[in-house]
Amino acid sequence: MIKLSKKYAESETGAVRKGWKGRTRIALVYPNQYRVGMSNLGFQTVYLLLNNIEHIVCERTFLPDNGKNEGSRIVTIETQRPVTDFDIIAFSVSFESDFLNILSFLNMAGLPILAKDRRPGHPLIVAGGVACFLNPEPAALFIDCFLLGEAEVLLPTFCESFDRLILRSNEGKKNFLLDIAKNLPGVYVPEFYRPLYNNDETLKLFEPLCEAPVKVQRVYLHDLSNVSTCSAVLTPHTSFKKTFLIETGRGCTHGCRFCSAGYIYRPPRYRTVSELKKCIQKGLALTDRIGFVGAAVSDLPEIGALCSEFKNDNIRISFSSLRADAVTEEFLSILRQSRVKTATIAPDAGSQRMRDVINKGITEEDILKTAERLVTKGIPNLKLYFMTGLPYETFEDIEEIVKLCKKIKDVFLKSSRIRRRIGRITLSINPFVPKPFTPFQWAAMDEERIIKQKINIIKEGLKKTANLRINVESPRRAYIQAMISRGDRRMAEILLRVVENRGNWPKTLKESRFNPDFFVSRERYINELFPWDFIDHGIKKSFLRHEYYQAGKEKVSPPCKVGSCSLCGVCPAK
Ligand code: SF4
């Protein structure tokens, strides 16, 4: 691993190297490979925030590229020091499936996986990131404390309270954890909570112990205007080769009922054009590639004007997401200037009925017009995102996906012919996975055999359509993601067993004393207590429940109007 870390270190621009003397040492871990971790702007942001604190030295580390460490120690990129030399090992977790990688990482680092088995002198194990503030419970028994919310607010106070001496005794560590659990908003220490279950295995009570708060408040940055979130380290070894990533805003106004980012980053906040210009200038000093990142980049006020300002043949600008109802002429010109080869549209559902059920807020006309304009403007290829297995979905709705794709293909073909260049359409089909803190948190996930039937209808229906390729996310992987996503603390037993079984999920689920379908394909009782309910995102559960009912009635809801609304409970009533 040392050789690999050195190779990565040598090809980087922007890594921070700080002396260790008198500083708290934090090993920041992305529980996956280097390539995946370094493509994650959240991870890079935490790295920069920690190293901006004078008394902190933060170094990065990842899982070995081949998933095995062959007996060598897990070391950091900056100094190749073993992670066991650090005071804190901090995991940045974006995807719930990476919870399993935390166990593999601790195992490879030679540290006890269970928090209760760690002894004085072992590093403090901390975790944060979106997967944690959605539902940390599947990983609760492995982590000493979670930081729930946005790093800009959480990290300075946490680092201020931490003293390396606490690690010398169990008592010192326990007192520190209790102190921050009681006094620092956003800090969740699992050992100070006890879940109790009903006979039917649902959660009866989630009991705080030792004066720990009943609810843990998600903390967030109220004003983004003077804080930039952009790439810290550039490297050729990521999905965004040498691209300087810039976050344009947080949250989204649209409230699609399946999308957790649309709820747990409320209220929607945007950066000012002047702040973004500064970031772009900073990026252009390092590279000619700028990538705008956000849940709804196209919603940023004045984004078109901002892009036009950098209209120059030498700059390539890309966008993480474009809504089919928000593609302006300025966008199209920038995409063309940036020689973008493939544009992505996410209809998510084939019928207008289902787009209303999920509250998508776009029409078939929006989708067809955008496809035509993109190709007419010279972007040869299209990528289309659809989901199957959504709540209230019928087989007719699946047929509608086939029909819509054929209509898009016709528009695509007509516009391509004018350009005398036929590109390709790629369909990405993803099984719907119900997520915490969304209106669909009550919904059952479709059975695997039904999902497969639906996928076959799409494949069958489009098999004669030329230049159209279909990529399907594995229903089995989606099932496991769903189990972890809405699992409770008992998930720990399953995750431990998977590590013992070297990642063999079928064997593990067969051996498990829990029926995984209980977590996946069971519709929740409308008043059920959820394992994640102890996290206070400011959103009223009654609001989410009401949105779930609206979905069943195929009713759409208005987008967020920050400043004049307090519907979901996040914004204060006027
Ligand atoms: S209170 Fe209204 S404006 Fe504020 S986040 Fe909720 S829905 Fe959006």
Confidence class for position 298, pLDDT limits 50, 70, 90: confident
Domain boundary among 308, 340, 372: 340
pLDDT score of 255: 96
Confidence class for position 72, pLDDT limits 50, 70, 90: low
Indicate whether 243 and 279 sit together in one domain. yes
Ligand 1 center to residue 323 CA distance, Å? 20
Answer with the residue of higher pLDDT: 318 or 25. Answer: 25
Residues in CB range of 201: below 8 A, 6 or more apart: 514, 518
Ligand 1 center to residue 563 CA distance, Å? 8
Indicate whether 200 and 72 sit together in one domain. yes
φ, ψ of residue 94 in degrees (nearest 5): -95, -30
Q: 111 and 49 in contact (C-beta within 8 Å)?
A: no
Which residue segment(s) compose the domain that 60 sits in? 2-215
User: If you take atom 8 of ligand 1, which residue's CA is the nearest one?
Assistant: 560
According to DSSP, residue 86 is labeled: S
Residue 387 lies in a domain: no
CA dist., res. 188 & res. 178, Å (int): 10
**Tokens at residue 291, please?**
């990538």
Instruction: Choose which residue among 257, 263, 537, 567 to substitute to test ligand 1 binding: the one with the highest number of ligand atoms within 8 A of its C-beta.
Output: 567
pLDDT score of 66: 79
Confidence class for position 69, pLDDT limits 50, 70, 90: low
Indicate whether 330 and 291 sit together in one domain. yes
Lowest-confidence segment of 200-204, 226-230, 504-508 by average pLDDT: 226-230
Least Cα distance to 551 among 427, 432, 468 occurs for 432
Indicate whether 281 and 315 sit together in one domain. yes
Confidence class for position 71, pLDDT limits 50, 70, 90: low
pLDDT score of 70: 59
> Could you check whether the bond before residue 136 is cis, i.e. omega within 30 degrees of 0?
no
CATH assignment at residue 109: 3.40.50.2300
Residue 402 lies in a domain: no
Indicate whether 265 and 198 sit together in one domain. no
Domain boundary among 280, 308, 340: 340
CA dist., res. 485 & res. 480, Å (int): 8
Confidence class for position 476, pLDDT limits 50, 70, 90: very high
Q: For the chain, give the percent of residues with pLDDT over 70.
A: 99
Q: 559 and 254 in contact (C-beta within 8 Å)?
A: yes
CATH assignment at residue 316: 3.30.750.210
CB under 6 Å to ligand 1: residues? 266-267, 560-562, 565-568, 570-571
Indicate whether 190 and 240 sit together in one domain. no
Confidence class for position 141, pLDDT limits 50, 70, 90: very high
Answer with the residue of higher pLDDT: 338 or 203. Answer: 203
Kindly give the number of the ligand 1 atom that is closest to the alpha carbon of 566: 1
Ligand 1 center to residue 569 CA distance, Å? 7
Residues in CB range of 497: below 8 A, 6 or more apart: 508, 511, 512
pLDDT score of 239: 84
Residue 410 lies in a domain: no
Average pLDDT of the residues of the chain: 93
Ligand 1 center to residue 573 CA distance, Å? 10
Model confidence pTM above 0.85: yes
Residue 442 has pLDDT above 80, yes or no: yes
Domain boundary among 307, 340, 373: 340
Residue 405 has pLDDT above 90, yes or no: yes
Lowest-confidence segment of 232-241, 328-337, 361-370 by average pLDDT: 328-337
Listed ranges 124-133, 168-177, 233-242; the one with the highest mean pLDDT: 124-133
User: If you take atom 6 of ligand 1, which residue's CA is the nearest one?
Assistant: 568
Residue 58 lies in a domain: yes
Lowest-confidence segment of 205-219, 236-250, 358-372 by average pLDDT: 236-250
Indicate whether 162 and 228 sit together in one domain. no
Kindly give the number of the ligand 1 atom that is closest to the alpha carbon of 569: 1
Ligand 1 center to residue 159 CA distance, Å? 31
Ligand 1 center to residue 70 CA distance, Å? 50
Residue 568 lies in a domain: no
Residues in CB range of 420: below 8 A, 6 or more apart: none
Kindly give the number of the ligand 1 atom that is closest to the alpha carbon of 562: 3
Indicate whether 208 and 235 sit together in one domain. no
Kindly give the number of the ligand 1 atom that is closest to the alpha carbon of 564: 3
Residue 446 has pLDDT above 90, yes or no: yes
3-state secondary structure of 483: helix
Residue 75 lies in a domain: yes
Indicate whether 183 and 257 sit together in one domain. no
Indicate whether 194 and 304 sit together in one domain. no
pLDDT score of 254: 95
CA dist., res. 481 & res. 434, Å (int): 10
Kindly give the number of the ligand 1 atom that is closest to the alpha carbon of 539: 6
Ligand 1 center to residue 49 CA distance, Å? 28
Instruction: Choose which residue among 264, 571, 574 to substitute to test ligand 1 binding: the one with the highest number of ligand atoms within 8 A of its C-beta.
Output: 571
pLDDT score of 105: 95
Facing residues of 430 across strands?
387
CA dist., res. 436 & res. 444, Å (int): 12
Average pLDDT (456-477) is 95
Indicate whether 250 and 194 sit together in one domain. no
Ligand 1 center to residue 223 CA distance, Å? 15
Tally of structural domains, the chain: 2
Average pLDDT (390-411) is 97
Condensed to tens digits (0 to 9), the pLDDT of residues 181-200 reads 999 999 999 999 999 999 99
3-state secondary structure of 327: coil
Ligand 1 center to residue 546 CA distance, Å? 14
pLDDT score of 542: 97
Indicate whether 233 and 195 sit together in one domain. no
Residue 432 lies in a domain: no
